[in-house]
């Protein structure tokens, strides 16, 4: 069965970086992409970006451009999302979601989420 | 960016009664291939979101048939024909046609 297992909760200081991992199993990793979505406490879902596991192409929200890097390691079927220069309003649960590897977006299977807390 | 709006933002429903959520996009969601990439997600309290509907009206495996999606262009609807207790949560629409992808603000459904 399709599973996306994310790394554990993180506490970071303002200005630091965080790298969240997302280990995929149960499907052909390179035939799909990964979308990253975050959810601040009590708030809605926010699309951050996407990476193709097929060729590494990425698409980022302008809001995070320059601060976020999404990568993928096909040898370990793991996707990563690194967010730099963290601020208190980056405190959120970060989700990885399986998606198409190109074209349009139809995200289906979600990871369990990773809580990132940014606090001095 | 394509703005997704939902109404109502909150819905209190009697068990067994129907519920309807509207989702509107600021631009047509028809893609160059002729498809329309509008998804619906359910997020139960304390859980990760779960996709219910993709491509406007295609129900995911395991989703009860009391859920249905409809619409076209810029106007879409999620309907629950008979609300059950397990349907409590927040429902989000999301467009997957245009960059960047965008979510609606969510509609909170609870039981009256």
B59-81 per-position pLDDT tens digit: 999 999 999 999 999 999 999 99
**Mutation site, A52, A58, A107, A111, interface B, largest B CB count within 10 A:** A107
pLDDT for position A54: 87
For residue B73, the distance in angstroms to the closest alpha carbon of chain A comes to: 16
pLDDT for position B34: 95
For residue A110, the distance in angstroms to the closest alpha carbon of chain B comes to: 7
pLDDT for position B29: 98
**With contacts defined as CB-CB under 8 Å, which chain B residues touch A113?**
48
pLDDT level of residue A102 (50, 70, 90 thresholds): confident
pLDDT for position B20: 98
The C-alpha atoms of residue A20 and residue A4 are separated, in whole angstroms, by 12
Mean confidence (pLDDT) of chain B = 97
Q: What is the mean pLDDT of residues A36-61?
A: 96
pLDDT for position A103: 87
**With contacts defined as CB-CB under 8 Å, which chain A residues touch B39?**
105-107
pLDDT level of residue B86 (50, 70, 90 thresholds): very high
Q: Looking at chain B from residue 19 to 48, which residues have their Cβ under 8 Å from any Cβ of chain A?
A: 31, 33, 35, 37, 39, 41, 43, 48
> CB of A101 within 8 Å of any CB in chain B?
no
> CB of B97 within 8 Å of any CB in chain A?
yes
Subunit contact A107:B92, Cβ cutoff 8 A: no
Q: What is the mean pLDDT of residues A77-89?
A: 98
Residue spans of alpha helices (H) in B9-77? none
CB A77 within 8 A of CB A24: yes
pLDDT for position A90: 98
Nearest to A51 by CA among A109, A113, A93, A105: A105
CB B5 within 8 A of CB B68: no
> CB of A105 within 8 Å of any CB in chain B?
yes
> CB of A35 within 8 Å of any CB in chain B?
yes
Asked if the model's pLDDT at residue A79 lies above 90, the reply is: yes
pLDDT for position B73: 97
Query: What would you report as the CA-atom Rg of chain A, rounded to the nearest whole angstrom?
Result: 13
Q: Residue with structure tokens 């609870």?
A: B110
Nearest to A66 by CA among A89, A49, A79: A49
Mean confidence (pLDDT) of chain A = 96
The C-alpha atoms of residue B58 and residue B50 are separated, in whole angstroms, by 14
Asked if the model's pLDDT at residue A101 lies above 90, the reply is: no
């Amino acid at each position: 069965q399709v599973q996306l297992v994310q790394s554990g909760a993180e506490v970071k200081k303002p200005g630091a970086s965080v790298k969240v991992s997302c280990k995929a199993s149960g499907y052909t990793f390179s035939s799909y992409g990964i979308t990253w979505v975050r959810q601040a406490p009590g708030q809605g879902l926010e699309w951050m970006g996407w990476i193709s596991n097929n060729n590494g192409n990425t698409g980022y929200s302008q809001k995070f451009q320059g601060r976020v890097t999404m990568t993928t390691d096909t040898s370990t079927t793991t996707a990563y999302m690194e967010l730099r220069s963290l601020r208190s309003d980056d405190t959120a649960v970060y989700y990885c979601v399986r998606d198409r590897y190109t074209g349009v977006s139809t995200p289906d299977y979600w990871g369990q989420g990773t809580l990132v807390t940014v606090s001095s | 960016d394509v703005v997704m709006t939902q109404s109502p933002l909150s819905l209190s429903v009697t068990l067994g009664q129907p519920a309807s959520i509207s989702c509107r996009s600021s631009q047509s969601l028809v893609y160059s291939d002729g498809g329309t990439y509008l998804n619906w997600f359910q997020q139960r309290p304390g859980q990760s979101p779960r996709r219910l509907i993709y491509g406007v009206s295609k129900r995911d495996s395991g989703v009860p048939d009391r859920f249905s999606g409809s619409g076209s262009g810029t106007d879409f609807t999620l309907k629950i024909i008979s609300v059950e207790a397990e349907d409590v949560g927040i429902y989000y629409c999301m467009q997957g046609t245009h960059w960047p992808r965008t979510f609606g603000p969510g509609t909170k459904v609870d039981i009256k």
